[in-house]
Chain A
């Protein structure tokens, strides 16, 4: 289904949903930084900047409680978090590099174990994607096979038009339901041209070639030259739309506390540190190798997909300028 909506009506739609008690999450300025956060009004939306963190947060929170405990005498009372109580959410103005990662994440969270936390939040979220009209030299979505108007992962996809307003296209029942429920705000599509798409000026990478090289070069001196500079923070993984490792921690006092699920990153030395003191990944090159291997080989082996959508966040934010696009490009040119 294709419909047209004016900017004003789009804002009305957002405000109406917020008014109805729905959690509407969109790029918003928070203490000087654009992040996906719940809005209190449509005026807070910032549509011209890629948020610093990705949209995965809506289903895979930075941290969430999974169970709480309380000790009463000799007994311990456990209370599960009921996923049925997660709020209905509308995730708005999500760039294609973020939406495209969502089906990729679905694969792992509904694989051998069905992650109720992820899946329930996912079910309760409607995603409105927005075609991308601005890019910089860190963007490389087209290199990994994603386009600035990729519909993957969007329930409703919006394209900004030259003369203002958006062309809306539904891609799922959720999207159609949203459009139908507020039909009066939409009109039939007109012949207006879409704003030109952002086109990252990058060469397409042959991901099969990258994988073929990774298959055979687990031990290669290149890893040292690539990642000796890595300082071992988690910035790349935490801003990535596709990284999904987490850690389970128990926090609280002996009387009561919570078991929590927190983001984790393979760059941390602690990530593979054994209780014995042994660490199988005993240096940053090995840890960074895992990042590349997981994204371009292991995930492909298991799910037939690549764990990178080319958003470029890790390139922009790496403290030491490690450039995944350059690394993958170099690998693809090796024999």
Chain B
């Protein structure tokens, strides 16, 4: 079993503290969104700090799983949106911020980005006191192409160590694609039937920033709000569709699902199709329009009679 070396996270944590203290002291930012230790060994919580004294609480570790970009969206009204805000970002989180900038939700000049040279984080923090290995690392980290984020305002020194490991999503998508429609139907039926409609997947998603979700509306009711198999199926299909071409691949939906539904498989499948169809990929370049809000006259229409 391959262990993932995370010794660099100690120095990175120190650098985050120093930088946060500096930018809060000199007034560059009004607040910093980062990670802090929680009670359980290895567990980490998101934290918003506004004073230089609190900067010592900040850290980065294998348990720093959250995509903090979610706190900067308009859905999270509790976080002050005045002035410039500092935020600790992994490469995957940065992609989400870039997506939000593309959708005119955030302005680059209002952010102070502290990028993390990231070797990977845990796939689940149900038991946070877990070694980071090829089995416990988040599957998204195995397919990560932004271990070293770019375009940030500050990046602590450190070189991510990323051994070549098997890509789990690609293999699982290929397995499902090879099944018959009926087999795929029963696979997803079983998975979605576990859903309890706690909406954790929606609430942690940086792109689910609608003032009122379509699925919370009842006039007209497009999706049954009851956590029965039928309503669950509709919810997950609509969720995947609304994220197609927008999802940045942070896989938070999948990590937080209390029922272990492999939600990111749907997002990855959509990403794969959009790459094939329209050569779109979530990246670090700000695009004003996503693949589904633009078109090309020569787009494929072989499926239309």
Contacts and interface: CB of A to CB of B under 8 A. Distances in A.
Contacts of B226: 63, 249, 251, 260, 262
B231 to A, nearest CB: 8
Contacts of A319: 66, 200, 203-204, 252, 255-256
A229 B191 CA distance: 28
Interface in A306-332: 315-317, 319-323, 325-326, 329
Contacts of B260: 31-33, 52
A249 B225 contact: yes
B143 interface: no
B218 interface: yes
A228 B48 CA distance: 8
A325 B39 contact: yes
For the residues of B in contact with A, the DSSP-based class is loop
Nearest to A35: B194
A318 B66 CA distance: 11
Interface string A83-110: 0000000000000000000000000000
B10 interface: no
B228 interface: yes
Given A231-B70, A315-B40, A321-B44, A238 B198 contact: yes
Interface in A294-310: none
A284 B78 contact: yes
Contacts of A284: 76, 78
Residue from A62, A270, A316, A320 with most neighbouring chain B CB atoms (10 Å): A320
Category for how many chain B residues contact A: 35 or more
Interface in A41-64: 52-53, 62-63
A239 interface: yes
B41 A30 contact: no
B45 A321 contact: yes
Contacts of A231: 70, 76, 200, 203-204
A136 interface: yes
Nearest to B205: A231
B185 interface: no
Category for how many chain A residues contact B: 35 or more
Contact of A63 (B44, B66, B191, B227): B227
Given A35-B194, A229-B46, A323 B38 contact: yes
A263 to B, nearest CB: 7
Given A52-B259, A231-B203, A317-B126, A263 B196 contact: yes
Contact of B203 (A233, A238, A316): A233
A238 B258 contact: yes
Residue from B45, B129, B259 with most neighbouring chain A CB atoms (10 Å): B259
Interface in B38-67: 38-41, 43-48, 66
A101 B223 CA distance: 33
Contact of B39 (A224, A268, A270, A323): A323
Given A233-B204, A251-B225, A270-B216, A33 B48 contact: no
A235 B260 CA distance: 12
Contacts of A315: 40
Given A52-B258, A283-B77, A323-B43, A233 B202 contact: yes
Residue from A52, A137, A268, A321 with most neighbouring chain B CB atoms (10 Å): A321
Nearest to B216: A270
A260 B218 CA distance: 14
Given A32-B260, A317-B126, A238 B78 contact: no
27 contacts: A31-B193, A33-B260, A35-B194, A52-B259, A137-B40, A137-B41, A138-B40, A229-B45, A229-B46, A229-B47, A229-B48, A229-B71, A231-B70, A232-B203, A233-B199, A233-B202, A233-B204, A234-B197, A234-B200, A238-B196, A249-B226, A251-B221, A283-B77, A285-B78, A316-B127, A319-B252, A321-B43
Nearest 9 Cβ contacts at the A-B interface = A319-B256, A233-B200, A233-B203, A326-B39, A234-B198, A321-B45, A231-B203, A317-B258, A235-B198
Interface of B: 38-41, 43-48, 66, 70-71, 76-79, 125-129, 190-191, 193-194, 196-200, 202-204, 216, 218, 221, 224-228, 252, 255-256, 258-260
